């Protein structure tokens, strides 16, 4: 049961943390402008204080957490784009991660070249072939994640854990850096230096975990645990060609039988 809850908790953890960090910073920056008690009158702020008193502290904390989650969801950055997938693993210090990246890129380039060559040799409208190529080239990493989830949930869980840890570390860095700058200005410049060093460490850890997560995904392809979308496309094309050949042979056999019957029928008439 816990294993089934972990992916959901990972998805919630980063937005909640990011949202709370920015809410705390906003409180620090604008606390002088915000009322600490219910203001007089019947304005919006007064009604918010009344609602908080009515529902109680627990519900108020829940509402603040919901606001923090929404804010964090808006501010959380995704690192699953093509640029991040190509650039971030190159900063990894592990030699194994780099070697896996090179091997995976060689495999993908070879598969892509073979697929384009196969598609170029097919009969049919050029626009249709181009559309098929574009469809295969776009979103291959997302397709690969879905394939890994279906093929090996344990391996996907390891990938998801590393990716979630990377996303968490990288997304809390902007708020922590802003907090360090604020502390350096308001308190002591040393807090700024400590904060920058801490943020740099978190960025390094985040990049390293991202590279490890991509290594899990790529190793799954290299070891044959999951089929790359290009490999699936090649297999689909081969199956289609075999089906076309079988259909052509069957049609040829039927035509030959028809000709044979017609020939025999002509002999009987003669």
Tell me the CB-side half-sphere exposure of residue 106, using CA atoms within 13 A: 7
Tell me: do 26 and 131 sit in the same domain. Answer: no
Tell me: do 105 and 215 sit in the same domain. Answer: yes
At residue 158, does pLDDT exceed 50? Answer: yes
User: Total domain count for the chain?
Assistant: 2
Tell me: do 45 and 89 sit in the same domain. Answer: no
Tell me: do 54 and 97 sit in the same domain. Answer: no
Residue given tokens 């991509």 in the structure block: 214
Residues 65-98 have pLDDT tens digits of 999 999 999 999 887 765 566 666 666 657 777 7
pLDDT: which is higher, 168 or 89: 168
Considering 59, 76, 93, which residue would you say is the last residue of a domain?
76
Tell me: do 133 and 40 sit in the same domain. Answer: no
Q: How far apart are the first and last CA of the chain?
A: 82
Closest by CA to 195, choosing from 9, 8, 25, 20, is: 25
Considering 45, 60, 76, which residue would you say is the last residue of a domain?
76
In this predicted structure, what is the pLDDT of residue 121? 64
Tell me: do 90 and 138 sit in the same domain. Answer: yes
Tell me: do 136 and 72 sit in the same domain. Answer: no
Per mean pLDDT, which of 43-47, 66-70, 247-251 is the most reliable?
Answer: 66-70
- Sign of the Cα torsion 57, 62, 68, 71 reads negative
Tell me: do 115 and 182 sit in the same domain. Answer: yes
Tell me the CB-side half-sphere exposure of residue 147, using CA atoms within 13 A: 19
Q: How confident is the model at residue 135 (pLDDT cuts 50, 70, 90)?
A: very low
Considering 76, 97, 116, which residue would you say is the last residue of a domain?
76
Tell me: do 183 and 66 sit in the same domain. Answer: no
> Domain containing 43: what range?
1-76
């Amino acid at each position: 049961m816990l294993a089934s809850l972990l992916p959901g908790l990972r998805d919630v953890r980063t937005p909640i943390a990011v949202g709370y960090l920015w809410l705390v910073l906003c409180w620090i920056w604008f606390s002088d402008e915000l009322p600490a008690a219910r203001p007089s009158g019947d304005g919006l702020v007064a009604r918010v204080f009344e609602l908080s008193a009515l529902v109680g502290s627990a519900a108020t904390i829940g509402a603040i957490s919901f606001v923090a989650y929404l804010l964090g969801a808006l501010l959380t950055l995704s690192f699953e784009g093509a640029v991040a997938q190509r650039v971030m693993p190159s900063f990894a210090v592990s030699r194994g991660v780099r070697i896996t990246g090179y091997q995976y890129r060689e495999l993908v380039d070879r598969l892509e070249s073979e697929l384009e060559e196969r598609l170029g040799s097919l009969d049919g409208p050029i626009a249709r072939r181009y559309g098929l190529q574009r469809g295969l080239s776009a979103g291959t990493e997302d397709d690969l994640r879905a394939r890994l989830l279906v093929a090996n949930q344990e391996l996907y869980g390891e990938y998801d854990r590393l990716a979630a840890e990377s996303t968490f570390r990288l997304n809390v860095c902007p708020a922590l850096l802003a907090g360090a700058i604020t502390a350096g200005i308001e308190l002591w410049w040393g807090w700024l230096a400590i904060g920058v060093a801490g943020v740099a460490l978190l960025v390094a850890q985040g990049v390293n975990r991202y590279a490890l997560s991509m290594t899990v995904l790529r190793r799954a392809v290299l070891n044959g645990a999951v089929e790359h979308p290009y490999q699936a496309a090649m297999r689909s094309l081969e199956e289609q060609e075999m089906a076309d050949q079988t259909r052509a042979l069957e049609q040829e056999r039927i035509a030959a039988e028809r000709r044979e019957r017609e020939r025999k029928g002509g002999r009987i008439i003669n």
